[in-house]
Amino acid sequence: MAIVKEIMGTPLVENSAFFNSSQKKLIFNQKKNQFCLERRRISQVKRGNLRTVAAISERNNLVKIMGTAAEKPVQFKVRAVLTVKNKDKEDLKDSFVKQLDALTDKIGRNVVLQLVSIDLDPKTKGPKKSSQAILKDWSKKSNLKTERVNYTAEFIVDSNFGVPGAITVSNKHQQEFFLESITVEGFACGPVHFPCNSWVQSSKDHPGKRIFFSNQPYLPNETPAGLKGLREKELRDLRGDGKAVRKLSDRVYDFATYNDLGNPDRGIDFARPSLGGANLPYPRRCRTGRPPTDTDLQSESRVEKPNPMYVPRDERFEESKQDAFSTGRLKAVLHNLLPSLMAKFSAKNHDFKSFVDIDSLYTEGLLLKFGVHDELLNKLPLPKAINKFKEGDILKYGIPKILSKDKFAWLRDDEFARQVIAGVNPVNIERLQVFPPKSKLDPEIYGPLDSALKEEHILGHLGGRTVQEALEANKLFMVDHHDAYLPFLDRINALDGRKAYATRTIFFLSDAGTLKPIAIELSLAPTGPSARSKRVVTPPVDATTNWMWLLAKAHVCANDAGVHQLVNHWLRTHACVEPFILAAHRQLSGMHPIFKLLDPHMRYTLEINALARQGLINADGVIESCFTPGRYCMEISAAAYKSFWRFDLEGLPADLIRRGMAVPDPTQPYGLKLIMEDYPYAADGLMIWAAIENWVRFYVNHYYPNSSLICNDRELQAWYAESINVGHADLREAHWWPTLATAEDLTSILTTIIWLSSAQHAALNFGQYPYGGYVPNRPPLMRRLIPDENDPEYGVFMADPQKYFLSALPSLLQATKYMAVVDTLSTHSPDEEYLGERTHCSTWSGDPEIVEAFFEFSAEVRRIENEIEKRNGDASLRNRCGAGVLPYELLAPSSGPGVTCRGVPNSVSI
């Protein structure tokens, strides 16, 4: 203590890399029994060069004052505060184990921590470490019911310890716990934050110590000597060895093909080809390591609901998200239950008999509609928690937004066209540049592919222009699903209750900026010499052609629903992003700045994709049951991956230019000019794209001031190479993959990934129920073709066209199942994180310049939201404002929970 009194108030080194002010001094806090650095002003922390933050300075004149005593480091205490997140609900087993852990904690089975310095110990040549510390108040706080509990631990460190860069945690309890963060106080540099957000497993399941790094980012070649070994070890642990079946508690990220969609052990009808490989190229998914099926050694055995499928432990839904998803899934089961029962009781309930039947799903609910008695319900094994089931509330569908302003909007041609640019699938419209349109399929395989569209079909709808004049004036547009469907039509139409065309729809752009459908081409597979293989339907002139036109539009919508779900939504956001996520965890350390940037945009994606493999895209799953292609759904997705998907064209500006919806123009705000100015998805999307790009560019330039740093960043290069060569192995030889050599390259790649994970997914996902929840507006499948005069069905059609139309739509069972599922998929969970938000916003990075730039990005996102609201009130923008017109809010960044038809989450999380 004499030494302490002797040096109190002595100025610290003025050349410190951490402080640039000489107005600081070292003092001893007797209450805390530790040294503290009193300072008035702190300069910016220089990344990778933190030094001189221990309680004792090594300044020469200080050594002289202290004499020989200064050669021996002084020990002092620092305190750690751990924030642990409690479960909202505990079952009996959880409660018992929790109490057992509280009891055994008192006798030495503790949570043990140890600080690791960024510096090496000159004696051991290993990193400097503090004494071990235990959470001393675990048992005392074991009965707290709060959402979060703060526990404390105290470490003894030497005065020459340096800056803590990592902390290890050993859980000697029986039960895992969710560690949200750790803050260490008592060092001269101020509080040191460790963002954890991870489940810490019991040492009986995973004997090794968990490693958590501070929020200070480091490029690989800047890694302090004391952290290099831990950085490499953590990545080795996350990669695993590619062997064995993964346990649910594992944290291993690896790749596999989609060889688990079918279940051949159930029979030939449930066998499905593997996706990924030369025959059916596809992105890779997260490896689970399950054994093969008995019937097919190339197919992986399945885990069926309700048993969980493996994803790395930290990728699982948090409790509030799980509850919201489970509730939605339960509703989907219940919604599907009664129609299924009633279909068995009476074949008359198979189809909707009138539009009133459909309306009653929202007003009366299934219970009242079908008059199911209490005696029947009492026999059903329903969860006790469903108190309102018998009242019908849980089986009453919410009114889809498409009906909220105009119940009959779906019948109008202008609304049919408006949804092409402002609905749930606004990414297929393209500018028509050649008439008639041409197929890209191989005529040697698919026969003559000439379009049936002729000038006479559209000439009367061009406002007095010739077709060539309309093309040159950028007045003609098209939604072309011909090539996506034609190769599969024979097989689809051979399925029971499935009928499809390969469609092309031509639109004319009016001077008011709105679209009008003017021709629909319907093609069947040219399997024989039949004049019916192609036909063109044009806007109606009488009652008969009106119903023909309605049926043609319904077939277009069914085509569009399939391409939307299988290609644009599932493939281009969910499936194609997953390899980048797997590679990021395997190759980028948690302390890598690029991992920190991507982290919020990877949340929940692996879990929702695993759930999709389990119940949505699998054999006989929801997608096959509810969409026209049936068992061929995922083969259509794979065909699109092979022939259409290109990472370099997945960014918004490149995609708009590819579709002819924009042209490059450096004089415009976003470097391009929209051909159709009132294109809500593109207009709002470009604002968000630019905000993401500007944020990413600042971030990248901050850490990579010259290109050599990018080329020499072994983790970054390994991440990008593995994403391509392993994650997208089937397309790794493609010429179009962007290079990664400059800051602009990296900015473009990261902006594209973040765009796909956030705004692009939001635009394609959260309108599914608001637009598709009313099945006539957007039927996911069709069961009848349009009858020709020579068909036996033509008489049925002429006698009762409404009945024929309804019988062509999905059945009651198919419709209600589809409605329940897209209701779940359109729902925001209470714990959603939206663009411009992130957990622990001010401490996720230890770089103050970056934190400040993120706040600026958040402010820009809010400004964009205000601009979108303003646009939706602008009467001159007729595609988003007008009598009965829905505002376009799918790219409005924020949202509350539930089905809101707005909100841009950070990640593909549903």
**728 among known catalytic residues:** no
CA distance 441 to 608: 34
CB atoms within 10 A of CB 229: 14
What is the signed CA dihedral for 810, 503, 647, 732, rounded to 10 degrees?
A: 90
Strands 34-39 and 24-29: antiparallel
pLDDT confidence of residue 750: 98
* Cβ contact 695:601 at 8 Å: no
φ, ψ at 607 (rounded to 5°): -70, -45
Under a CB-based contact definition with an 8 Å cutoff, are residues 500 and 628 in contact? yes
DSSP 292: B
Q: Which two tokens stand for residue 649?
A: 């064209």
- Residue 177 CB neighbours (<10 A): 24
Compute the distance between CA of residue 854 and CA of residue 275 in angstroms, rounded to an integer. 39
Structure tokens at 353: 């008999």
Q: Would you call 659 helix, strand, or coil by DSSP?
A: coil
Distance in angstroms (rounded) separating the CA atoms of residues 184 and 543? 77
Q: Cα-atom radius of gyration of the chain, to the nearest Å?
A: 31
Q: Which two tokens stand for residue 691?
A: 């905000």
Integer Cα distance of 842 and 561 in angstroms: 42
| pLDDT at site 328 | 62
Nearest to 425 by CA among 894, 777, 689: 777
Q: Answer whether 84's CB lies under 8 Å from 151's CB.
A: yes
Secondary structure of residue 518 in the 3-state scheme = strand
Residue pair 167/113 in contact by the 8 Å Cβ criterion: yes
Q: Which of 471, 478, 466, 469 is nearest to 506 (CA)?
A: 478
Given a contact cutoff of 8 angstroms between Cβ atoms, the answer to whether 740 and 749 are in contact is yes
- 761, 777, 850, 868: the catalytic one is 761
Phi, psi values for residue 642, rounded to 5°: -70, -40
Give the helix ranges, DSSP H, for 316-466.
319-345, 355-363, 365-370, 374-378, 413-422, 443-446, 455-458
Closest residue by Cα to residue 836 from 815, 821, 853, 849: 853
Residue 761 among the catalytic residues: yes
**What's the pLDDT at 73?**
78
Locate the DSSP E strands across 121-237.
127-129, 133-134, 148-158, 164-171, 177-185, 192-200, 210-213
Q: What residues of the chain score a pLDDT lower than 70?
A: 1-71, 324-349, 365-395, 528-532
Annotated active-site residue in 193, 335, 574, 828: 574
Beta strand spans in 255-331 (E): 255-256, 285-286
Phi, psi of 528 (to 5 degrees): -160, 175
Report whether 200 contacts 210 (CB < 8 A): yes
Q: Is the alpha carbon torsion for 54, 59, 60, 62 positive or negative?
A: negative
Per DSSP, what are the bridge partners of residue 674? 662
What confidence score (pLDDT) does residue 39 get?
A: 34
CA atoms of 99 and 439, how far apart (whole Å):
68
Catalytic residue among 215, 336, 349, 765: 765
Spatial contact of 582 and 840, defined as CB atoms under 8 Å apart: no
pLDDT of residue 337: 55
DSSP 8-class letter at 229: H
Type of residue found at 881: C
> Helix/strand/coil (H, E, C) string of 795-814?
HHHHHCHHHHHHHHCCCHHH
3-state secondary structure of 506: strand
Cβ–Cβ under 8 Å, residues 230 and 187: no
Pairing mode, if any, of strands 133-134 and 127-129? unpaired
* Alpha carbons 457 and 252: distance in angstroms, whole number: 58
Q: Note whether 213 and 590 are within 8 A (CB).
A: yes
Strand partners, 905: 834
For residue 55, the Cα-to-chain-centroid distance in whole angstroms is 45
Helix (H) or strand (E) holding 736: none
Assigned token pair, 695: 């944020």
Task: Please name the residue that has the structure tokens 């688990």.
Answer: 260
Closest CA relative to residue 585, chosen from 145, 155, 237: 237
**Prior bond of 306 cis (ω within 30°):** yes
Residue 482 is a catalytic residue: no
Give the integer Cα–Cα distance in Å for 421 and 427.
8
Secondary structure (H, E, C), 64-131? HHHHHHHHCCCEEEEEEEEEEECCCCCCHHHHHHHHHHHHHHCCCCCEEEEEEEEEECCCCCCEEECC
Nearest to 22 by CA among 48, 45, 34, 40: 40
Amino acid at 802: Q
Measured CA to CA, the distance from residue 794 to residue 804 in angstroms comes to 10
How do strand 672-674 and strand 662-664 relate by DSSP bridges? Answer: antiparallel
Asked if omega into 436 is within 30° of 0 (cis), the reply is: yes
Which residues does residue 111 pair with via DSSP β-bridges, in sequence order? 171
Helices (H), 240-308: none
CA distance 62 to 74: 14
Mind listing the pLDDT tens digit for each residue in 737-757?
Answer: 999 999 999 999 999 999 999
Q: Are 543 and 535 in contact (CB under 8 A)?
A: no
Catalytic residue selected from 482, 564, 569, 585:
569
DSSP helix/strand/coil, 715:
helix
695 Cβ contact list (under 8 Å, min separation 6): 853, 854, 856, 857, 860
CA proximity to 280, closest of 643, 565, 642: 642
| CA proximity to 889, closest of 897, 898, 880 | 880
> What residues does 509 pair with on adjacent strands?
515
Our answer to whether residue 749 is catalytic in this structure is no
Q: Is 617 a catalytic residue?
A: no
d(CA 679, CA 656): 11
C-alpha dihedral (70, 71, 74, 78), degrees to nearest 10:
110
pLDDT at residue 41, as a whole number: 31
pLDDT score for 526: 80
Residue type, 401: K
CA dist 249 and 878 (Å) reads 53
User: How far lies 303's CA from each of 290, 291, 822, in Å?
Assistant: 9, 11, 23
pLDDT tens for each residue of 870-880: 999 999 999 99
Nearest to 727 by CA among 255, 341, 136: 255
Instruction: Please pick, among 7, 608, 754, 910, the residue that the annotation labels catalytic.
Output: 910
Taking Cα atoms as reference points, which of 436, 625, 618, 610 lies closest to residue 534?
436
